[in-house]
Amino acid sequence: MKIYIDGQFYSEQDAKISVFDHGLLYGDGVFEGIRIYNGRIFKLEEHIVRLYESARSICLTIPMSREELEQATLQTVAENELRDGYIRLVITRGAGSLGLNPYQCPKAGVIIIASTITLYPKDRYEKGLNLITCATRRPTPAALSPQVKSLNYLNNVMAKIEAIQAGCEEGIMLNEQGYVAECTGDNIFLVKGGKVVTPPISAGGLDGITRQTAIELLAEMGISCQEVMLTRHDVFTADECFLTGTAAEVIPAVQLDRRIIGDGAPGPITKALVERFHEYVKNVGAPVPYQS
């Protein structure tokens, strides 16, 4: 594996950053997860735009133009000869002092990893996930906007621990008012009476790129999707439930807090969307310039 760090490629064994990097010391930085399908990087431009928006929100200057970063990402995938896989694009605050002051970090660090990822067991895509409601709540947007994909994911990690300890693969996170925000790493959708709903971004979840793709594909399928505030009761009484995310893609969920959702199996709209999603991603995206 070849990893890009600040303009150079290193082997996995030689890829290193400073122990004084504020990304390590304080979780001070931003990231994007991006998929590679059939030799193309899916929604690369959209991910790069969101990365720069996250960086701008936390006063972090990325030391490359968007075009340069896009080319570096494409080159990293080509260097690793990946046709299908996952990219982790990380911008750290860079090396500085042991204090919090980010202005003592002269230059941000850029790291690009192109590899593979398996977020959930394969059979869960066929049978559906079991969920719990996490006691850990999503942070209020007044503290940090959920649209900033920061390197500090401890809130999500703690919620993930709860789900795993409960014997589940994923967990729903509520906001301070008790409404459904998102899952630990995915957006959530419900189907009831043939209609699809998902929490609005104002509920405290990320405006996911796969979330937007799902909404667009549903519209093409003649199925509208509305953004509404949701409670656990809405999940309990839904006909279907599915999650979306770059790493997760589109995956059904069939149980919440030991309550069966629908008939306990992936529903027809979920299955149709999964099929349409996999067809769609094979033919779009930025082509990778592999060496012949």
Q: What is the set of active-site residues? A: 149
The answer to whether residues 57 and 147 touch, using CB atoms and an 8 Å cutoff, is: yes
Separation of alpha carbons 140 and 73, rounded Å: 32
Separation of alpha carbons 176 and 178, rounded Å: 6
Torsion of CA 34, 39, 45, 49, to 10 degrees: 20
